[in-house]
Amino acid sequence: MSVRVAVLGAAGYTGGEVLRLLLPHPALEVVQATSGQFAGKRLDFSHPHLRGMGTLRYTPHDALATCDVLVSCLPQGELLQRWPKVCRLAERVVDLSADFRLDAEGHARWYGKHPRPEDVPAFVYGLPEWMGEALPGARHVAIPGCMAHAGLLALLPLLHAGLARPDLLVVDAKTGSSGGGSAPDRASHHPERANALRCYKPVGHRHTGELEGVAERVTGQRPTIHFSATAVAGVRGILATVHAFAARPVDEAEVVRAIATRYREKPFVRLLRPSASLSPFPEPGPLLGTNHCDLAVDVDAERGRIVVNAAIDNLVKGAAGTAVHVLNLMLGRPEAEGLGFRGLHPL
């Protein structure tokens, strides 16, 4: 029997990608998708790429019915408002917002006082490559932020192996316009964004708290991470560049070995080698639509600097794809099930 899945807030970009991945999934059945704006319309009314994938129609948020799994794609803060009702409707909940990513103290610092701190400990942080052992059987999971996700996949192996100083780490993330969501504002308006190349959050980005908090969970020591976000002209994709400083003398082979060992059994993280490809530097383009993260390492041994680049599709590996990956693990399914799309080249 298929697992019945409802998607709350399904009309946005992330919701569209969740639906694209779930509708053909062999073990999951989408039984409901909600929208505050398009109730009564078919899913392909707002998602043209879903044409021909069934006749399901949006229902209002307040008409959400019981289901086995609820995937919430609501904007920041909206699931919290609905949580007392929503938590009773589904045995399992996967949230793609930041409502339950941080502990109550971290949430208060970066987002404001958490209205339901007693519910936060029930959520597992959904980074499968590092929190995978906690996901089978989990009831509530919070999916990482997209830029934090890319940064963590590049950074955590260095800290876990003791290769990088935890007191001086820089993560610089470049992101396309879809990361701002489907609701337009002046900054995302096409004439403002089409040829953008601007650092819109040099300091104080909320993902800083997520990066530091997760790194502390993995290593037992809270690092100091300097995070900046830059808008680029593309629609989809993130390139995160991690600059770390070696805790002791290291060469590139040792760093490569640490990362390769960590991700050897992880199906969606790939370490690129210069000798093995005409395109050895990670870039989002070939990854669009996929649940993969590509990494590459460079080491300046003379100056003790380690650089790791990580590329992902922000809407898939950074959101919907990881939600499906997490669901597979929660339900005891093969972790790559429904996530076989390999990308396109050239674009």
For the question of residue 146 being annotated catalytic, the response is yes
Of 67, 73, 146, 293, the catalytic one is: 146
Q: In three state form, how does the secondary structure of 21-75 look?
A: HHCCCCCEEEEEEECCCCCCCEHHHCCHHHCCCCCCEEECHHHCCCEEEEEECCC
Q: Which of 28, 22, 111 has its CA nearest to residue 67? A: 28
Distance CA 316, CA 342 (A): 12
Residues taking part in catalysis: 146
